[in-house]
Chain A
Amino acid sequence: MSCFRLENVSYRYDKSPVLQGIDLRLEPGEILGLFGHNGAGKTTSIKLILGLMQPTQGTVSVLGGHAGDPQVTQHIGYLPENVMFYPQLTGREILSHFARLKGASLRQVPELLKQVGLDDAMDARTKTYSKGMRQRLGLAQALLGKPKLLMLDEPTVGLDPVATADLYRLLRELRDEGTGIVLCSHVLPGVEPYIDRAAILTEGSLQAVGDLTALRRQANMPVTLSLDPANSISALERVIDKASTSSGLMIKTDNGRLRVDVQPREKMALLKAVMASGEVADISIHQPSLEDIYVHFIGSGGLAHRGGNQ
């Protein structure tokens, strides 16, 4: 049973398309990163999965049922962007209220508050909470009733680095127990180590989906090698010049090192030649990061979009 399955889903808001022909699914025990600039359709996709809206076209099935059915939503945890709570209630009261609504055991309430590090503040009114504390309470709320599908929109906003690391560790544990997790974030380097697959949305359509290896292959972006010469830079340069068959190589010198951008399929040939020559003392290889891939798929218009991002 998939956590969710979007098939050829389109959604129009006042006739202007927000989502177009989206095919996306999430299996249990998987963390999917959902990326795109604001207005690309991330929140709309999440709202469709939550059953808050009906697609104009296509089908949305969630946890083997229909999106929005009470039996389905009972097993979904959701942390909205900029989560807010009733300011006059305490953290414990709020979590108890939501636990009752979800049909979750009230015994979970103190446990979850402890798990997110709010055990000292659970009896303080949430109007005294900082942004990070609200975010943690939001997280505790999403974890009520042990969800099978967890959707987190910008979960790390306002969290300090330690809390962020705790959060990701927790998400990994949940994933290993079989929870399907969707993670929306703009902090790409932060989420990169934790996601199993990434989906990149632009202007309502899916630009790319897959694990990072597949996305790198699809993007076909150059790998950067950073080489320390054993003897002299010029000798190393000659070796590389001789080894490279195709054009498109970029050679730069900085601090006595060589940086070489190489196409992925030529990488091994070049490495072998360099190693055999004995002219290299050290090599480090930089794969394109999630951020590089993201910028690649968003295209040159990306900067303009990102302007409205923050």
Chain B
Amino acid sequence: MNSIWTIARKELSDSLRNRWLMAISLVFATLALGIAWFGAAASGQVGYASTPATIASLASLGIFLIPLIALLLAYDAIVGEEEGGTLLLLMTYPLSRSQLLLGKFLGHGLTLALATLIGFGVAGVAIALLVEDVAIASLAVAMFRFIASTVLLGWGFIALAYVISVRVSEKPIAAGLALAIWFFFVLIFDLMLLGTLVASEGKFSAELLPWLLMLNPTDIYRLLNIVAFDGAAQLSGVLSLGADLPIGAFGLWLGLVLWFVIPLACALLLFRNRRI
């Protein structure tokens, strides 16, 4: 446990040193405030529209940004140590491979969680203070749900980045694969699902189809933040499938948790078999 914390501590102080933590927090706060005030600009008015609409917009933006940031933060976790020549040295210390990877996860995970909490937390407080007739309780619940799911989504992509990082032997390859993962989950997956829907002309099993959404953590994340306001009407595109999912919010949370636990377990397993 001690060595896990030692590794995590170094990652945390690295992200403080290179200003990652500050930069991400700042980006999150700016975006959240921008969306809160100008999110309704398309409908011809400036000012805070409503909590559900703000959260929905934030979540739509989050699915682009969070995976990208998480992948960038973590893609070189192991392959970077190897290229830097420090992996071999670390492995001669009383430190198992699992401890190293878990320490990295703790460090990167905390960095992302802190940035999310600070960035969106500040935005949430600002909305509560500056908007006059906002229902504080429902805003707090929505913000809490949004921050928690954002952190889980980020952890999922950190774990996915590790799967790459323990497998490849060169940093540029890891970066390329990380981008491919981002591209797949954020852009391609929904398109493929939509294509399947249209092409099958409704012949595809209606029970199976909604479950396919669970195969993409970004879809689970969006469902969680939008469905929560029983706003099935707001679900557009493939997400309308989510209305048919018989698992409820708890299932969606579980889905997000599994989406970081399973890739992390895979990364640990693959790392154990890596030749150093």
Residues on A close to B: CB < 8 A?
A: 50, 52-53, 70-71, 73-74, 76, 78, 80, 82-88, 97-98, 100-103, 141
Residues on B close to A: CB < 8 A?
A: 2-3, 6-7, 10, 14, 17-18, 84-86, 88-96, 275-276
Q: Smallest CB–CB gap between B94 and chain A, Å?
A: 4
- Contact sample, A vs B, 27 pairs, CB 8 Å cutoff: A52-B92, A53-B275, A53-B276, A70-B96, A73-B92, A73-B94, A78-B89, A80-B85, A82-B85, A84-B85, A84-B86, A86-B86, A87-B84, A88-B14, A88-B17, A88-B18, A97-B6, A97-B10, A100-B3, A100-B6, A101-B6, A101-B93, A101-B95, A102-B93, A102-B94, A103-B2, A103-B94
Kindly identify which residue among A70, A74, A87, A141 contacts B89, using a CB–CB cutoff of 8 Å.
A141
Contact B90 A101 (CB under 8 A): yes
Contact B94 A86 (CB under 8 A): no
Contact A52 B93 (CB under 8 A): no
Q: Which residue of A lies closest to B13 (CB)?
A: A93
Contact B6 A80 (CB under 8 A): no
Collect the chain B residues with CB atoms within 8 Å of residue A76's CB.
Answer: 92
Collect the chain A residues with CB atoms within 8 Å of residue B86's CB.
Answer: 84-86
Q: Which residue of B lies closest to A73 (CB)?
A: B94
Q: Smallest CB–CB gap between A256 and chain B, Å?
A: 55
Contact B88 A52 (CB under 8 A): yes
**Highest count of chain B CB atoms <10 Å: which of A50, A87, A97:** A97
Collect the chain A residues with CB atoms within 8 Å of residue B276's CB.
Answer: 52-53
Question: 8 closest pairs, A vs B, by CB?
Answer: A84-B85, A70-B94, A100-B6, A78-B92, A101-B93, A74-B94, A73-B94, A50-B92
Q: Smallest CB–CB gap between A109 and chain B, Å?
A: 14
Collect the chain B residues with CB atoms within 8 Å of residue A84's CB.
Answer: 84-86
CA distance A275 to B17 in the complex (A): 75
Counting residue pairs across A and B whose Cβ atoms lie within 8 Å, the total is 57
Collect the chain A residues with CB atoms within 8 Å of residue B95's CB.
Answer: 70, 101
Q: Smallest CB–CB gap between B185 and chain A, Å?
A: 31
Known: A52-B276, A101-B95. 14 other contacts (CB 8 A): A52-B88, A73-B92, A76-B92, A78-B89, A80-B89, A82-B85, A85-B85, A86-B84, A88-B17, A97-B6, A100-B3, A100-B6, A101-B93, A102-B94
Q: Which residue of A lies closest to B103 (CB)?
A: A101
Q: Smallest CB–CB gap between A136 and chain B, Å?
A: 15
Q: Smallest CB–CB gap between B20 and chain A, Å?
A: 12
Collect the chain B residues with CB atoms within 8 Å of residue A70's CB.
Answer: 94-96
Collect the chain A residues with CB atoms within 8 Å of residue B93's CB.
Answer: 73, 98, 101-102
Q: Smallest CB–CB gap between B159 and chain A, Å?
A: 23
CA distance A100 to B93 in the complex (A): 10
Collect the chain A residues with CB atoms within 8 Å of residue B85's CB.
Answer: 80, 82-85
CA distance A52 to B82 in the complex (A): 14
Q: Smallest CB–CB gap between A33 and chain B, Å?
A: 20
CA distance A101 to B95 in the complex (A): 7
Collect the chain B residues with CB atoms within 8 Å of residue A102's CB.
Answer: 93-94
**Highest count of chain A CB atoms <10 Å: which of B6, B17, B92, B93:** B92
Contact B94 A101 (CB under 8 A): yes
**Highest count of chain A CB atoms <10 Å: which of B10, B93, B276:** B93
Q: Which residue of A lies closest to B95 (CB)?
A: A101
Q: Which residue of A lies closest to B6 (CB)?
A: A100
Collect the chain A residues with CB atoms within 8 Å of residue B91's CB.
Answer: 50, 52
Collect the chain B residues with CB atoms within 8 Å of residue A78's CB.
Answer: 89, 92
Q: Smallest CB–CB gap between A44 and chain B, Å?
A: 12
Q: Which residue of B lies closest to A70 (CB)?
A: B94
Q: Which residue of B lies closest to A88 (CB)?
A: B17
Contact B94 A80 (CB under 8 A): no
Q: Smallest CB–CB gap between B215 and chain A, Å?
A: 36
Contact A83 B89 (CB under 8 A): yes
CA distance A53 to B274 in the complex (A): 11
Q: Smallest CB–CB gap between B16 and chain A, Å?
A: 12
**Highest count of chain A CB atoms <10 Å: which of B2, B14, B86:** B86
CA distance A100 to B85 in the complex (A): 19
Q: Which residue of B lies closest to A100 (CB)?
A: B6
Collect the chain A residues with CB atoms within 8 Å of residue B84's CB.
Answer: 84-87
CA distance A102 to B94 in the complex (A): 6
Q: Smallest CB–CB gap between A138 and chain B, Å?
A: 8
Collect the chain A residues with CB atoms within 8 Å of residue B10's CB.
Answer: 97
Q: Smallest CB–CB gap between B4 and chain A, Å?
A: 10
Collect the chain A residues with CB atoms within 8 Å of residue B94's CB.
Answer: 70-71, 73-74, 101-103
Collect the chain B residues with CB atoms within 8 Å of residue A100's CB.
Answer: 2-3, 6
Collect the chain A residues with CB atoms within 8 Å of residue B89's CB.
Answer: 78, 80, 83, 98, 141
Collect the chain A residues with CB atoms within 8 Å of residue B18's CB.
Answer: 88
CA distance A102 to B95 in the complex (A): 8
Q: Which residue of B lies closest to A46 (CB)?
A: B92
Contact B92 A101 (CB under 8 A): no
Q: Smallest CB–CB gap between B51 and chain A, Å?
A: 42
